[in-house]
Structure 1
Amino acid sequence: MHSSINYKHLKYFWVVANEGSIAKASAKLHITPQTISGQLSLLEDNLASTLFEREGRGLKLTDTGRLVLGYADEIFSLGRELSDVLRGMPNIGPSEFIVGAASSLPKTIVQKIIEPGLLVEQDITLTSLEGPVDMLLADLAIHKVDMVLSDTPLTGTLNIKAYNHKLGETGLTFFASPKLAKQLKHNFPQSLNGAPTLMPTSQYSIRKQIDFWLNEQQLYPMIKGQFDDSALMKSFGQAGLGAFFMPSIIVEEVCKNFAVEVIGHVNEVKQEFYAISAERKIKHPAVSAICNNARTSLFV
C-alpha cells in the first residue's frame, strides 16, 4: 500500500511534466535542479513507479506518468477553482485578476479588450503583465495568470493544457506623419513602393502576413526600422521616419495620440485576437465579460 502522496512532490512533477525538463522547471520554480530531481525520486519511490524516461536532452512521460499527470491536472485545477472562489468572496477584499498580454499587441487594444472585465459586479483589481507569449503561456499553465491575450492561437507545439477563445479580427490601417502622409495618400497602396516604412519584427504573425500581402501586390517598401514594441514604432512614425500600420479598430486613437494621418486601409489582411485560458468553459466573470464584449461590441 502506498503512503499518502506529498503534494509538494506532486507539484514539482506537474511543473516538470509541463515544462519538459528539470532545468526549465528549476527556472520556473526558482529551485535547484538537484532539489527537484530528489523530490521526483521520492515521489517515484512512494508510487513504486517510474514517471519519466529520458528522450534526448528532455524527459518523456511514461504510461504511469501520463496517468499521474491527468490526476495532477485535475487536482491543481480544483485548487485554482477554490482560490478563485475564495478570492471572489466579499469579506476578503478585491479579487485579483491577472492578465498577460503579448508584447506585440498595441496597448490601446489591450486596454479596450480588458476594460469590460473590470466593470463586472465583483470587486476586481487588475494586474497586467506583458512579455513573449510563450513565457506568458507557461505562467498560465501553472496558474500564475488568469488569461493571456495574443494575436495568435495556442497550438499543439507547446505542451500546455489551455484553450483558445477567439475575440475577433480587424483589418489594418497605414499611418504616417502629416508631411509623409501627403506624399503617400495618393495612389495607395502602390505609394508604399520604395516608401520609408516601419514594421514589427519578423517573429510576429502579423509581420509575416503583411510581408506576404506586399509581395502579392509587388510592393517593396524601404524598411527603415523593425520593432518589438508597437508604442515605440508609433513614436518613430510620429517623428516622420516612416509609415506604419496598426489594427483598424484604433484609427481614431492612433491619429489623436500620435498626431499622424491615415494613408490607406488594408482589408485583405486580418489581425486576429485571442483570449487564452486554462479552462475550456469560461468561469471567471472577468474573462467572460471580456469575451462577450469583444464579440458583440469591439470586433464588429
Structure 2
Amino acid sequence: MNYKHLLYFRQVAKCGSVARASEQLHLTPQTISGQIQLLEEALGSPLFAKSGRGLVLTETGRLVLGYAEEIFSLGAEVEEAVREQPTKGRMLEFRVGVADAVPKSIAYRLIAPATQLPEPVRIVCREWKLDNLLAELALFRLDLVISDSPIPPSVSVRAFSHRLGASGVSFFATPALRERCSGEFPRCLDGAPLLLPSEDSAVGQRLRAWFLAHSLHPRVVGEFDDSALAKEFGRNGAGIFVGPTVLSHSIEKQCGVKTLGATVEVLDEFFAISVERRITHPCVAAITQAARNALFAVSVKGSAGR
C-alpha cells in the first residue's frame, strides 16, 4: 500500500471534495482522483460515494480512514521521537502540561523522576485547563499532559491516556476545627464547613456523589480550581479540605492539620496523556514507571476510612 495514496484519501475525506483537497495539497484534481482510484483498486472496494457536489465516505471508507489516522499518528510519533532524541552535549527539553485540577504536590512527585535521567533535562511546565492543554498536545507543543481524568469523549484529539494510578481521599482540618466536629467519620462531616474541589474536576464530581450516597450535607464554604489555594484556606482554619490519601502524612506535616478520616469510595485518579500509543519518550517512560512502581504502588486498600 502506498503511503501517499492514504495521505490523499485522508485529505479528501476531511475536505469532502477532491477540489478542496487539491488546493490544500497543491496538486491537480486529476492527480488526486487517479491516486485514490489506485487505492480503491488495491483494496477492491469504493471508498467514496457522491453526495450532491461533494463526496461522503462509504462504510469501507470509514473503516480505512480509522486505520489511516492511526498510521499517520504513528508516523508523527516517529518524527517526534527522532527530533527529541538527545545528542551528546545537548540538553533534552521536556514540555509537560499539568491540568489545573491536579494537586501541585502530586504533579511535582510525578514529574520529578524525569529530572533524574542520565542525560540532562530541561523541563518546560505549563498549567492550564485540560482542553487547552490537549489542544497544545495535538499541535506537538507539549510532550505530555498530566490530568486527573482521561481524554474526555467530547474532545477530538488523537492521543492516548495512560493511567498512572489512583489514591483514596482524606479529609483534613486544623486541630481547633477538628475539636468542633462531633461524631465518627464520615458523620462528622454533616453540617461541617467544607472546602471543595470545583465541579469541573473529576474528584469534585465524585465527592458530591459520595455525599449524596451517604446522606451527608456539609456546609460548603468554598470551591476551588486550585487545590493549593484550598489547602492554604484550610490550614488557616477556613474549613475542612480534601487531598490524596497517598500524601496524607506530608499534608499533615506541611499544613499543621489532622486527618478527620479517609475513604476509598472516592478515588483521585491520575493520567499521563501523550500522542504516543507506545511510550518511547525517556521522560514520559520515567514518569509512568515511577508512578506505578513507587508513588501509587501501595493499594488503595491501605487508605481505608478511619
- Which of 264, 279, 284 pairs up with 1:282? 279
Name the CA distance, whole Å, in 2 between partners of 1:269 and 1:68: 39
1:18-55 CA distance string (max 9 Å, x none): xx9xxxxxxxxxxxxxxxx9974857857469x9xxxx
Tell whether 2:124 aligns with 1:127. Answer: yes
What does residue 294 of structure 1 align with? 291
Matches within 5 A, 1:1-300: 40=24, 47=32, 74=71, 78=75, 81-91=78-88, 93-184=90-181, 186-299=183-296, 300=298
The residue type paired with residue 116 of structure 2 is: L
Structure 1 runs of 4+ aligned residues shifted over 6 Å read 63-70
Distance (Å, rounded) in 2 between the aligned partners of 1:111 and 1:166: 17
Contact 2:22 2:32 in 1 (8 A): no
Q: Larger Rg: 1 or 2?
A: 2
C-alpha displacement of 1:233:
0.7
8 Å Cα contact 2:77-2:276 kept in structure 1: no
In the superposition, the TM-score normalised over structure 2's length comes to 0.75
Distance 1:61 1:116 in 2: 48
TM-superposed deviation, 1:186: 4.8
CA distance in 1, matches of 2:141, 2:89: 20
- Residues 176 and 238 in structure 1, CA contact (< 8 A), matched pair in contact too: yes
TM-score, normalising length from structure 1?
Answer: 0.77
Which residue identity is paired with 2:179?
A: K
* Whole-angstrom CA distance in 1 between matches of 2:175 and 2:195: 16
Letter in 2 for 1:246: G
* Alpha-carbon contact 1:185-1:264 (below 8 Å) kept: no
RMSD (Å), alpha carbons: 3.5
- The more displaced of 61-70 and 265-274 is 61-70
Instruction: Indicate if the aligned counterparts of 2:22 and 2:28 stay in contact, CA closer than 8 A.
Output: no
Unaligned runs of 5+ in 1: 8-12, 21-36, 52-59
Give 5+ residue unaligned stretches, structure 2. 16-20, 37-47, 49-54, 299-306
Q: Percent identity?
A: 31
Aligned residues: 270
Corresponding letter in the other structure for 2:245: S
Instruction: Measure how far apart 1:78 and its partner are.
Output: 3.7
1:97 maps to amino acid: F
Contact 2:181 / 2:189 at 8 angstroms: preserved in 1?
yes
CA distance in 2, matches of 1:278, 1:44: 32
Secondary structure of the corresponding residue to residue 158 of structure 1: coil
